[in-house]
Amino acid sequence: MSRLVARANLRGRVAAIIGGGGGIGAAVTLALANESVHVALCDIDEACLDLTSAAALAAGVRVLGTRADATDVAQLETFYKAIAESFGQLDVVVNVAGGTQRRRFEDEPSWDAADIDRNYRYVLNSIRCALPLLRKGTPGGSIINFTSIEAHRGAATFAVYAGAKAATTNFSRALAVELAHERIRVNCIAPDTTPSRGNAAALTEADRIALMGLPEDALRKGLAMYIPMRRAPEPADLADAVVFLASDLSSCVTGTTLHVDGGANASSGFIHWPEGDGYVPAPLGGTIRRLFAVKGEKDVR
Ligand SMILES: NC(=O)c1ccc[n+]([C@@H]2O[C@H](COP(=O)([O-])OP(=O)(O)OC[C@H]3O[C@@H](n4cnc5c(N)ncnc54)[C@H](O)[C@@H]3O)[C@@H](O)[C@H]2O)c1
């Protein structure tokens, strides 16, 4: 066994993954299973749930796959009851489920319900159900909540989602302090644009049509404008961060947020303007001339 694997100390632990069937959640489930963590996952999508459960089983761990809508408290409680019966304990909880659709605040007819439920309220219910089981697990449990870069910036057209994710972020920080004396850690992971069904669903139909058929090179240049590392994270990059926070490698890390976004949060507001002047918040003269075709002056690069 390598020193890293020994220090991580994950073998035989038990993890619950809410929304663990598809998207980033599937990558999280499989990454933990591949580190010999027994996994209990729930999802609203039965097909994804079955596929991911079968893949986790093939990794040689115990698997409990349950169809459950995390925003329905009764279904969430049934899921945790099944964990208690099957495993009797928990060591890791990953609240991955979440999402939104891009729209202006005033165009959202039911802003008070769905986005708050699926990005904040269920997280509270999930943790409330998990805590008694975490206390029966290996001393030093880990709770990992998925938030978003939008919790950390003025995310126009994502206002309610941004508010709900910010609520989850600060709730996690506060709870981390409450639970620290029990060595139960609470942290967040904040992705930015990561390819998944949820990411595509966040766009409007018009956004999706506009993106269709664009050459790879143009799409890559678009990402490079605002992601300093010039590539979007993959679900596996998020899953690696979960493995770190779930393991003893992070045993003194609590109340914090890991930004797994290629540097997008660090550069918030700074843009690498196309063929322009490098990272600056507002475009400089040369960029404005090129973008808005101002004639007459010398082109400055
Ligand atoms: N993908 C991105 O670009 C991105 C960016 C920022 C933040 N995030 C956050 O990361 C998390 C994962 O995002 P994703 O893109 O993988 O989402 P996703 O929708 O693709 O997948 C997550 C999984 O959760 C399941 N799920 C959704 N609602 C559920 C519910 N109510 N109950 C049970 N299961 C449910 C889905 O069926 C899916 O299998 C979310 O919290 C999201 O807000 C994602």
| Alpha carbon of 174 to ligand 1 centroid (Å) | 24
Nearest CA among 196, 202, 128, 201 for reference residue 162: 202
Query: Of residues 120, 122, 161, 226, which has the active-site annotation?
Result: 161
Same domain, 176 and 296: no
Residue 2 has a pLDDT of 92
pLDDT tens digits along 191-207: 999 988 888 889 989 99
**CATH for 145:** 3.40.50.720
Same domain, 15 and 113: yes
Query: Quick check: CB of 146 below 6 Å from ligand 1?
Result: yes
Query: Quick check: CB of 249 below 6 Å from ligand 1?
Result: no
Contact 23, 198 (CB under 8 A): yes
Query: Quick check: CB of 118 below 6 Å from ligand 1?
Result: yes
| Alpha carbon of 25 to ligand 1 centroid (Å) | 7
Same domain, 125 and 47: yes
Query: Quick check: CB of 161 below 6 Å from ligand 1?
Result: no
Mean pLDDT along residues 157-179: 97
Contact 38, 63 (CB under 8 A): yes
Q: Which of 22-36, 110-124, 125-139 has the lowest mean pLDDT?
A: 110-124
Mean of the per-residue pLDDT values of the chain: 93
Same domain, 209 and 230: yes
Q: For Cα atoms 284, 286, 292, give the angle at the middle one, nearest 5 degrees.
A: 95
Which amino acid residue places its CA nearest to atom 24 of ligand 1? Answer: 19
Structure-token match 């802003």, residue found = 111
Query: Quick check: CB of 75 below 6 Å from ligand 1?
Result: no
Query: Quick check: CB of 117 below 6 Å from ligand 1?
Result: no
Same domain, 23 and 120: yes
Structure-token match 């990402």, residue found = 223
Mean pLDDT along residues 256-280: 91
Q: Which of 13-17, 87-91, 106-110 has the lowest mean pLDDT?
A: 106-110
Residue 300 has a pLDDT of 43
Same domain, 154 and 141: yes
Same domain, 284 and 251: no
Same domain, 204 and 289: no
Whole-prediction pTM? 0.95
pLDDT tens digits along 216-232: 999 988 898 999 999 99
Q: Domain range spanning residue 298?
A: 270-301
| Alpha carbon of 22 to ligand 1 centroid (Å) | 8
Distance separating alpha carbons of residues 66 and 53, to the nearest angstrom: 9
Asked whether the predicted pLDDT for residue 296 surpasses 70, the reply is no
User: How is residue 224 written in tokens?
Assistant: 């490079």
Distance separating alpha carbons of residues 50 and 253, to the nearest angstrom: 33
Query: Residue 67's beta-bridge partner residues?
Result: 43
Residue 292 has a pLDDT of 82
Which amino acid residue places its CA nearest to atom 33 of ligand 1? Answer: 43
